[in-house]
Amino acid sequence: MCPQSYNRSYTLRDLLQKFEFIRNLDSNPETKIVSLLGTIDSRDAILTAEKTHFIHNDTIRRQSIHPPLMTINSYKDPKKECHFFKTNDNKVKPVSDDELGMRDPCASEFSFVKGVVELKELTSNDNFHWALAVLREHIDENPTAKISVIWPATDVHIRRYDQQKLHIVKETPEMYQKIVKPFINEMSTFKKLEWVYKILYENSEQGRIIYKHYNELNANDGFILLPDTRWDGETLESLYLVALMYRNDIKSIRDFRPQHKDWLIKINSLLKSVIPPCYNYAIRADELRIFIHYQPSYYHLHVHVVHIKHPGLSGGLHDGKAIQIDDAIEYLDFLGSDGWNAASITYTIGENHPLWGRGLKDEVQKQLKEVNINEPPKVINSIKLPN
């Protein structure tokens, strides 16, 4: 089949109905995400389902009821304030107390308190009680899961979603020049990054853009802010945004030099300034965690922004793949004129990543032998514990 000969008119429902299961890619009980590999019209596809968060006014703000508010005094009672907002068709609509979060956050019929429609008690012990429950569901008010499909899925997509063994790599400047930099150059071609340029310059995904900062006179300071596909778009405690930079001379943190310090400080400050008002200040600047991945998923500079309470950060932030932008800035004071190009960077990498088979595996084994740590035997018949 020709690479482009697939039906682009399929809806997500069409894709789900045509999905034919092959195997499990990954299942994460912490993040409540499962990913499946299958085919659609004989082409590889990845189906991902993620359970949504519970409806609770303290942890979720729906954008539809949180546009900028106007406040006026009631004509019936001049001492009482009334709250309004403008709808998309420019009409003025009053905001109820419930929408303002002034009532009991558990009062909604879809909350995990009032929305229990079936309960099966498991056991109890003194102060503690356990049960299984079925909650009332509604596609708008309380959806069960977020579903995404990647189709056609490439080998790169499959490797990214496939469960794999992870290894800690200490990448020296020499390893970067010999192994990693040639790979980055291969992955930085126009063809590989065309989808990024379409977002930046051709208004692709226009409806998903949260904020655009761009001035032709100073294009290097520009960026586009988008929700990450892993975020449900509603639960602020799992907020996950990505800022795509307009400047194209930086492919990864390895390209950061001392002369970029002021620019990085400006980007960091801009993100902390523009994101809270995008969500009606329901999230504060000091609740944002801003970081850069190394190795990133693609080699056009992008910055990750998540809520500090994000539940699924173990896939990047906590395992050494993420570098806080504040740390990236501060280290430029000590790394010399070559900046991060001269640093040794420790991070995790999966065995499915192309770099593992292109030399990082051999380098890791070499580093272990240098400190007298040999490869373990393939089979351990018995274990003798010390006295």
In contact, 355 and 183? CB cutoff 8 Å: yes
Helix, strand counts (H, E) of the chain: 9, 17
Report the C-alpha gap between 340 and 349 in whole angstroms.
19
Chain Cα centroid distance, residue 231: 6
Could you tell me the CA-to-CA distances from 124 to 51, 121, 131, 133, 330 in Å, in that order? 27, 8, 9, 15, 52
Which of 304, 325, 326, 329 is CA-nearest to residue 315? Answer: 304
Catalytic (active-site) positions: 302
Compute the CA torsion angle 276, 281, 286, 291 (nearest 10 deg).
Answer: -30
Could you tell me the CA-to-CA distances from 250 to 66, 80, 254, 330, 341 in Å, in that order? 36, 54, 8, 18, 12
In the beta sheet, which residues pair with residue 93?
A: 85
Which of 371, 375, 374, 331 is CA-nearest to residue 170? Answer: 371
Report the C-alpha gap between 375 and 362 in whole angstroms.
12
Report the C-alpha gap between 38 and 112 in whole angstroms.
34
Residue 78 CB neighbour total at 10 angstroms: 8
DSSP letter at 140?
T
